[in-house]
Structure 1
């Protein structure tokens, strides 16, 4: 089960454009696939179709719009991630299988996995 919300993309029907709510604003997202390079891109627009970002490549573990100061972009980071940590790229075999475009709004302490539990054989259990 995923710890974060993710953007649901239908990779079988690309290009795909749909509305997505983030940070109290609705955006139009357009996803495309480049089969020669085995990568996905996303474009972000406002509902009036004002283009904010065109065809940004999804790169594993790299936030979208990094370094883009446009205040109309969402403040919440969107990051292609594999929460299991096993994927090495964000291609056709990984995206929407083990790699998802997550809203990275989870407190890092909440995302930490618990460590091993110490069991003391000397303690009695009621």
Structure 2
């Protein structure tokens, strides 16, 4: 599980295009400063797929959603140091990364 999505916390809120399982998506990263958590918005072909998905440690993004347009891979926030209990501004993209799982197996 080496491939991850690089997040530039200095640019938040910001969006970027990314290819996942051969399809192009737009991801927007947002930060709730009052409660110290991040959310992800997901778009495809200019349309909204998901708004406000909270990043939760070790839980795949979009796991409770059923939509054929969602990425055919998993994006899982994981702490490579195994010391975090939640995702914060301090640890995102320092020890906690958004790992892309299933991309190389296709």
Assess same fold via TM > 0.5.
Answer: yes
**Counterpart among 54, 59, 65 of residue 68 in structure 1:** 65
CA deviations 1:14-55 (Å, max 9, x no partner) are 101000110100100000000111000001101x31000001
Partner residue of 1:19? 17
Larger Rg: 1
Q: Which has the higher contact order (CA 8 A, sep 6+)?
A: 2
Point out where structure 1 has 5 or more consecutive residues left out of the alignment.
Answer: 107-126
Structure 2 distance, partners of 1:104, 1:72, is 17
Query: How many aligned residue pairs are there?
Result: 104
How big is the shift at 1:84? 2.5
- Between Structure 1 and Structure 2, the one with more strand by share is 2
Match of 1:89 among 86, 90, 106: 86
In structure 1, what is the Cα distance between the partners aligned to 2:52 and 2:94?
A: 21
What is the 5 A alignment of 1:40-55? 40-46=38-44, 48-55=45-52
The runs of 4+ residues in structure 1 deviating greater than 4 Å are none
- List runs of 5+ in structure 2 lacking aligned partners: none
What RMSD over aligned residues (CA atoms) do the two structures have, in Å? 1.5
